[in-house]
Amino acid sequence: MFPSRRATVFVVVALALAPLTALATVVMALSLEELTERAPVVVHGTVRRSVTGWAEGKRGIWTWTEIAVRESLKGAPRTTALVKQPGGVLDGVGQRVSGAGRFEEGEEVVLFLEPAVDEPNAFVLLAMAAGKVTLEGTVGPKVARRDLKGLSFAQRGGKGVAGPVAERETLGTAEAFLARVRAAAKGATK
């Protein structure tokens, strides 16, 4: 017996309304040392501001975030870094890209960056939101954390995609995290 037309419509509507949180962008799972080795630029800084604009032909929205660099951990010394990301809100229209990093003015961050292929002097996050670590806390030692919402990690060796990842990952104290990145960057430049 075939399902009724009404049952078929119900299944199609139910699938269409499935939670959007089930959607994720898949990136390769990389250790802190691998992120540092693969990223041509690693900076520690503070988010100054973000500006949103249309892509050519209004086909999409992009957000550019300016980072005041405190320390160039890897790559040429610089005082600022411009990070380009897909998505944002502009002219009452919003576009969200699952797994894109989110920035807040004044936020202290460590970013693992690679040059944007389509824009000189701009960078993109290596491994999307996994390439952004926030150093946070006002009482006691600061903590290094990653917001991995919207990401899934590919397993090594072509074994498929790992299940959902924790939305927030704590990477230890900010001081210990920065020491690990400095050590990894020193090893990567040899």
Q: Pick the residue with more confidence: 5 or 92?
A: 92
Please write the tens of the pLDDT for every residue from 113-157. 999 999 999 999 999 989 999 999 988 899 999 998 888 788 777
Residue 23 — pLDDT band, cuts 50, 70, 90?
low
Q: Look at the chain and report how many structural domains it folds into.
A: 1
| Number of C-beta neighbours around residue 137 at 10 A | 14
**Pair of tokens at residue 132:** 């952004």
Indicate which CATH number applies to the domain containing 68: 2.40.50.120
What does each C-alpha distance from 53 to 68, 93, 116, 122, 178 come to in angstroms?
21, 11, 16, 14, 33
Residue 27 — pLDDT band, cuts 50, 70, 90?
confident
Q: Pick the residue with more confidence: 98 or 162?
A: 98
Q: Is residue 41 part of a domain?
A: yes
Q: Cα–Cα–Cα angle for 166, 170, 32, nearest 5°?
A: 95
DSSP structural state of residue 72: E
| C-alpha span between 83 and 62 (Å, rounded) | 10
Please write the tens of the pLDDT for every residue from 73-113. 999 999 999 999 999 999 888 998 888 999 999 999 999 99
Q: Could you tell me the residue range of the domain that residue 40 belongs to? A: 20-188
Rg of the chain taking only CA atoms, in angstroms: 19
Which of 15-24, 43-52, 160-169, 178-187 has the weakest average pLDDT?
15-24
Write down the residue that tokens 């419509």 correspond to: 9
Contact 111, 132 (CB under 8 A): yes
Q: Is residue 6 part of a domain?
A: no
